[in-house]
A and B are shown apart, each in its own frame.
Chain A
Amino acid sequence: MREVWVVGAAMNRFGKMRESGREAITSVALAALGRAGLEPNSVQHTFLSNCFGVAERQAHLGPLLNTGLGIPEVPSCTIESACSSTSAALHEAFVHVAGGFADVALVAGVEKLSHLNTLAATSYFAMGADYPFETCHGATFPGLYATLANAHQAKFGTTAEELGSVAVKNHANAAMNPHAHFQKPITMEAYLGSPMIASPLRLYDCCPFSDGAAAVVVAAREVTPEPAAEPLVIKASVRSGSIADMHDRPTLTGLPATRFAAEKAFRQAKITPKDVSFLEVHDCFTIAELMALEDLGFTPPGTAGKMTSSGATAIDGHVPVNPSGGLKAKGHPVSATGAGQVVEIFEQFNHEAGGRQVPNVEYALAHNVGATGGSCSVHIFGHR
Chain B
Amino acid sequence: MAGGAATLHSIEEYRRGYEDEHRLRGFRSACGFVSATWGLRCPRCGRSDFAETDLATTGRLAAFTVQTVPSDEFLNDAPYAYVLVDLDAGGRVAGWMPGIRTEAELAIGKPVHYVPGYKPGLQFGLTSDDTAKSERP
Taken residue by residue from 70 to 89, chain B's Cβ proximity to chain A (1 for < 8 Å, 0 otherwise) reads as 11111101001010100000
A140 touching B37, Cβ below 8 Å: no
With an 8 A cutoff between CB atoms, is A9 at the interface?
no
Q: Roughly how many angstroms separate A197 CA and B103 CA in the complex, as a whole number? A: 12
Q: Which of A137, A148, A200, A247 lies at the interface centre, i.e. has the most chain B CB atoms within 10 A of its CB?
A: A137
Q: Which of B14, B84, B92, B121 lies at the interface centre, i.e. has the most chain A CB atoms within 10 A of its CB?
A: B84
Given the interface pairs A150-B63, A247-B62, A248-B35, the reply to whether A122 lies near B69 with Cβ below 8 Å is: yes
With an 8 A cutoff between CB atoms, is B30 at the interface?
no
B37 touching A135, Cβ below 8 Å: no
With an 8 A cutoff between CB atoms, is A252 at the interface?
yes
- Among B1-9, B48-56, B93-101, B128-136, the stretch that binds chain A is B93-101
A261 shortest CB reach to chain B, Å: 18
7 nearest A-B pairs in the assembled complex, by CB-CB distance: A146-B65, A137-B121, A199-B103, A138-B96, A151-B63, A199-B66, A138-B74
- The chain A residue sitting closest to B102, CB to CB, is A199
With an 8 A cutoff between CB atoms, is A245 at the interface?
yes
With an 8 A cutoff between CB atoms, is A136 at the interface?
yes
**Contact partner, A142, options B64, B67, B80, Cβ 8 Å:** B67
B97 shortest CB reach to chain A, Å: 9
13 A-B residue pairings within 8 Å (CB atoms): A137-B96, A138-B77, A139-B82, A140-B69, A143-B67, A146-B82, A197-B67, A197-B68, A198-B82, A199-B66, A248-B92, A252-B62, A252-B84
A128-162 with Cβ < 8 A to chain B:
130, 132-140, 142-144, 146-151, 154
With an 8 A cutoff between CB atoms, is B112 at the interface?
no
Q: Roughly how many angstroms separate A132 CA and B43 CA in the complex, as a whole number? A: 17
A163 shortest CB reach to chain B, Å: 13
A284 shortest CB reach to chain B, Å: 15
With an 8 A cutoff between CB atoms, is A58 at the interface?
no
**Contact partner, B73, options A138, A144, A198, A200, Cβ 8 Å:** A138
**Contact partner, A140, options B38, B63, B71, Cβ 8 Å:** B71
Q: Roughly how many angstroms separate A250 CA and B92 CA in the complex, as a whole number? A: 11
B62 touching A139, Cβ below 8 Å: no
Q: In the assembled complex, which residues on chain A have CB atoms less than 8 Å from the CB atom of B96?
A: 137-138
A137 touching B94, Cβ below 8 Å: yes
With an 8 A cutoff between CB atoms, is A119 at the interface?
yes
B64 touching A150, Cβ below 8 Å: yes
- The chain B residue sitting closest to A133, CB to CB, is B37
A248 shortest CB reach to chain B, Å: 5
A147 touching B84, Cβ below 8 Å: yes
With an 8 A cutoff between CB atoms, is B122 at the interface?
yes
A284-327 with Cβ < 8 A to chain B:
none
Chain A interface, number of residues (Cβ within 8 angstroms): 39
Q: Roughly how many angstroms separate A250 CA and B95 CA in the complex, as a whole number? A: 18
With an 8 A cutoff between CB atoms, is B15 at the interface?
yes
With an 8 A cutoff between CB atoms, is A41 at the interface?
no
Q: Roughly how many angstroms separate A138 CA and B121 CA in the complex, as a whole number? A: 7
**Contact partner, A132, options B38, B72, B74, Cβ 8 Å:** B38
**Contact partner, A123, options B43, B72, B102, Cβ 8 Å:** B72
Q: How many pairs, one residue from A and one from B, have CB atoms within 8 Å of each other in the complex?
A: 117
Q: Roughly how many angstroms separate A238 CA and B117 CA in the complex, as a whole number? A: 45
With an 8 A cutoff between CB atoms, is A176 at the interface?
no
With an 8 A cutoff between CB atoms, is B120 at the interface?
yes
A197 touching B94, Cβ below 8 Å: no
B15 touching A200, Cβ below 8 Å: no
Q: In the assembled complex, which residues on chain A have CB atoms less than 8 Å from the CB atom of B64?
A: 147, 150
B10 shortest CB reach to chain A, Å: 10
Q: In the assembled complex, which residues on chain A have CB atoms less than 8 Å from the CB atom of B102?
A: 199
- The chain A residue sitting closest to B68, CB to CB, is A196
B18 shortest CB reach to chain A, Å: 10
Q: Roughly how many angstroms separate A133 CA and B82 CA in the complex, as a whole number? A: 12
Q: Roughly how many angstroms separate A122 CA and B74 CA in the complex, as a whole number? A: 12
With an 8 A cutoff between CB atoms, is A167 at the interface?
no
With an 8 A cutoff between CB atoms, is B36 at the interface?
yes
B4-61 with Cβ < 8 A to chain A:
11, 14-15, 35-38, 43-44
**Contact partner, B72, options A122, A144, A195, Cβ 8 Å:** A122
A133 touching B71, Cβ below 8 Å: no
Q: Which of B62, B82, B108 lies at the interface centre, i.e. has the most chain A CB atoms within 10 A of its CB?
A: B82
A133 touching B94, Cβ below 8 Å: yes
A261-278 with Cβ < 8 A to chain B:
none
B108 touching A151, Cβ below 8 Å: yes
A136 touching B38, Cβ below 8 Å: no
A132 touching B11, Cβ below 8 Å: yes
With an 8 A cutoff between CB atoms, is A82 at the interface?
no
A130 touching B37, Cβ below 8 Å: yes
**Contact partner, B70, options A132, A138, A150, A247, Cβ 8 Å:** A138
A139 touching B71, Cβ below 8 Å: yes
